[in-house]
Structure 1
Amino acid sequence: MEIIPIKKNQELEVTVVDLSYLGMGVAKVEGYPLFIENALPGERIQVKVLKIGKKFGFGKMLSILKTSPHRQTIENEDLLRTGIAPLSHLQYEQQLKFKQEQVKNVLIKTAKMPEVQVTDTIGMKEPFGYRNKAQIPVRKMNGVLQTGFYRKNSHELIPLDHFFIQDPEIDAAIVIIREILQQFEVKAYNEKDNSGFLRHIVIRRGYQTHEMMVVLVTRKEHFFQGEKIVQKIQEKLPEVVSIIQNINPKQTNVILGEQEKVLLGRSFIYDQLLGKTFRISAKSFYQVNTQQAEVLYQKAFELANLEKSDVVIDAYSGIGTIGLSLADQVAYVYGMETIKQAVIDAQENAKLNGIKNAEYVTGKAEDIMPRWKEEGIKPNVIFVDPPRKGLDQTFIETACDMDPEKFIYISCNPATMARDLKTFAVNGYFTDSIQPVDLFPQTHHVETIALLQKKTS
């Protein structure tokens, strides 16, 4: 039995040697790893042990005895406490290097592909105020409605008005809406006993169009004085073209429920990306950083080396942002998506942009691709942009069975991407190169593009 060299509540002086993939400082006490928030490599710190496990523990930094040259001051320590911007204390150039290293590490440890080149992370000129979407919980504190964010690993709300990484116009709108709701004495949700009314305020704002959508997530359908509240919101926020009530009666941390009611205007907003216009519904996936999404997609198209004769499959197509953005560079685009509303948006977006060489269907790729193969559809390139859980093995096998020349894998989770690259290798596709792109500055998240080529005998 291994002896743990530290005890809970013990105070220690340690040197931080590394950053974890979540951006926490790592110190080692006789080889035993201790994870510490807000600590940077090279720093000598005083720390209190909070929790110990068999293989690692967690500590709280009490003071910095020697400061890293890469540390920068931040406006509000709550950005670290809530996990909104957990890397905001690290200089931006170092954040980009950290993200590149994270991708390299999973390629070596998980994918066993040390030979694959990972290029420098592409960053932003202005890495703040970039998020075009906010999902903000509403709670009652000291008799008043508050908006903010949860303290890490808890359901304790920390009140915040400025979120640092969100579009400042969204931050301002949240405060205005909260004050209107307070005036009308709207009851905040209480998650302990699943009571109260208003759960979340969700806002989307078009980066190019400035059109704003407000989604009020409520526990019940009946919205007392809803019409007056909606009128007041539009009066105070002229950019708002869509107000939606989303009803979520379940005791869950899933934000949006199944049922929606349009209270004002349209059920969607418009925005532009790479010269194309897109309609975006409340539940549709749309990259939260429009500027960097353009960089990401342009880089993906460049790696795909598209030709006018190419047939492309856009798996996980969402509202069609990838497929429709490249449609004028290829012969035809086929897209599929499991969320019906997103497919409707993609079909409308094709019409909106006068694109006739793209079609979108609802369903699982594993079901649709074999049918397309029977119909004689042969793709040259398949684009995949899955959620954080990555791809199912069945999907990979079905997609490889379509026999494309290459895959472009866009990932928001390097760990699941590395796992999937191993499966692609077994199915005859080697990883050519990987390009990280920073879509989420001040956080530990990184987007990556992998180019996969068919192995030749």
Structure 2
Amino acid sequence: MIEKNKEYIFDIVDQGYEGEGIAKTEEGFTIFVPEALKGERVKIKIVKVKKNYAYGKLIEIITHSENREIPVCPIFKRCGGCSLQHTSYNNQLEIKTQRVKDCVTKIGKLDSSLVKNTLGMKNPYRYRNKVQLPVGINKGELQIGFFAPRSHDIINMESCFIQDEAADKVVKIVRAWIIKNNIKPYIVEGEYSKEGLLRHIMVRRGFKTYEVMVVLVTTSEKVPHKDELINALIEGIPEIKSIMLNISSKPTNVILGDKSIVLYGKDLISDYIGDFKFNISPLSFFQVNPVQTEILYSKALEFAGLSGKETVFDAYCGTGTISLFLSQKAKKVYGVEIVPEAIENAIENAKENGIDNVEFRVGKSEEIIPQMIEEGIKADVVVVDPPRKGCEKSLLEAIADMAPQRIVYVSCDPSTLARDLAILKEMGYETIKVQPVDMFPQTGHVEVVTLLVKER
């Protein structure tokens, strides 16, 4: 029987999706060991025991895995941003491929051979074009960084190796300004402060345009010494095109408020995915890894198999990024999204790129698409890119009743994807191939694009 606070030696026999090693007792009891790797022999201390599993703290690695690497980030063990820096990038890709295979076979009841190897990056660092950093004070020390896992404790950060370098420069300048002018952070000793002013620093960077946006998220419009900060940012980072103030006064975990004020430059920056230009505001959704986004969307376009004669539905279309990619080879694309602001952005993005064969509608996909079908609008191909919870069953039923020849399913959660693939199989759709794409290197997240065809 495994006991809390006792030390044990185990072989790590499997790998969890967030980089944790998995050990088994002779009776089959499971122990999760963060930072341990499959193939290693380790000494651990048990820190938590549940009915069917336990957690162990890594004390010593007796036998090292050939896949182990020294994390490039000095705060890797404490920060909640990354979970896989301790293993080689090739092994990260294998872990993600295996995760998708496990979901497809165990939940979807499909053959694992349908899953292709995960498409990775040449350089799996410095890929994120957006960062949101909480600002706080703890034991008298200013903290700017990421939250530790499952807490509001900020891990102080000088440099983040998965963010664009511009973010590091912004943080350094803002940090100096806060200290010099005694600006009060919003988070004090891990709790929200009624007197605090500065909540978050958000930085966005155009991957192809190099344009930089800085957003100060504050509880008030009144920011002392803001001109000093503006001048320091412009002088230190010439690529800055926009400095914004976002007002967020409610005591919630939601980072951005509804009101934004321009302090310098424009209220947006621009960037490209493929040949398409997109305008990005503080509140805009835009994929954080533009390199892999282009690969993901190109794969979705390939799976759609368009010849120029097809009508396509793009469910959960967001700001229209996939819709624009599909428009290159479709006769007509209809995008549906529940967020009105996203549809406004989608319409503007289509105009910006001179695309006239797309139409966007606001509402729930599971409600709007059946209405479109009743209007006599039917799709030859349907693309879905739902949130983490997957597609509503009513939407899948409406799609199946319409009987498009192909469905392209883009997913950020392999488990809900696999569930929906099983549902679609019952509705007469065969899964042809499942392609994972590594949108978030150094983390356990993986994006997947899947092709399904109507069974004859």
TM > 0.5 fold call: yes
Q: Distance in 1 between matches of 2:401 and 2:238?
A: 51
What is residue 151 of structure 1 aligned with on the other side?
Answer: 148
Whether the 8 Å CA contact 1:386–1:410 is kept in 2: the answer is yes
1:66-114 CA-partner distances (Å, limit 9, x unpaired):
1001111122352233232211111111111111110000111111112
Q: Distance in 2 between matches of 1:236 and 1:77?
A: 25
Correspondence 1:42-441 to 2 at 5 A: 42-114=39-111, 117-190=114-187, 192-195=191-194, 196-441=196-441
Q: Distance in 2 between matches of 1:343 and 1:427?
A: 30
Normalising to structure 1: TM-score of the pair?
0.94
Amino acid at match of 1:21: Y
Amino acid at match of 1:169: A
Amino acid at match of 1:133: K
What is residue 33 of structure 1 aligned with on the other side?
Answer: 30
Root mean square deviation, CA, Å: 1.8
* Greater shift in the superposed pair: 132-141 or 248-257: 248-257
Whether the 8 Å CA contact 1:80–1:88 is kept in 2: the answer is no
1:205-247 CA-partner distances (Å, limit 9, x unpaired):
0100011111212233433344543344334322222222222
Task: Give the gaps of 5 or more residues in structure 2.
Answer: none
1:265-324 CA-partner distances (Å, limit 9, x unpaired):
322210011111111222222111111111111111111111111111111112211111
Counterpart of 1:22 (choices 10, 18, 21) is: 18
- The alpha-carbon deviation at position 397 of structure 1 amounts to 2.1
Whether the 8 Å CA contact 1:244–1:262 is kept in 2: the answer is yes
Q: Distance in 1 between matches of 2:108 and 2:323?
A: 28
Whether the 8 Å CA contact 1:221–1:247 is kept in 2: the answer is yes
* Percent pairwise identity: 43
- The alpha-carbon deviation at position 144 of structure 1 amounts to 4.2
The secondary structure found in structure 1 opposite 2:424 is helix
Whether the 8 Å CA contact 1:211–1:239 is kept in 2: the answer is yes
Residues paired across the two proteins, number: 452
What is residue 7 of structure 1 aligned with on the other side?
Answer: 3
- The alpha-carbon deviation at position 142 of structure 1 amounts to 4.5
- The alpha-carbon deviation at position 115 of structure 1 amounts to 5.7
Amino acid at match of 2:92: Q
- The alpha-carbon deviation at position 423 of structure 1 amounts to 2.0
Runs of 4+ residues over 6 Å off in structure 1:
none
* Greater shift in the superposed pair: 69-78 or 432-441: 69-78
Task: Give the gaps of 5 or more residues in structure 1.
Answer: none
The secondary structure found in structure 1 opposite 2:208 is coil
Q: Distance in 2 between matches of 1:308 and 1:407?
A: 17
- The alpha-carbon deviation at position 156 of structure 1 amounts to 1.7
Normalising to structure 2: TM-score of the pair?
0.94
- The alpha-carbon deviation at position 165 of structure 1 amounts to 1.0
Q: Distance in 1 between matches of 2:12 and 2:83?
A: 17
Q: Distance in 2 between matches of 1:260 and 1:405?
A: 44
Amino acid at match of 2:393: Q
- Is the alpha carbon distance of 1:362 and 1:243 closer, same or farther for their aligned partners in structure 2, counting shifts above 3 Å? farther
Whether the 8 Å CA contact 2:366–2:392 is kept in 1: the answer is no
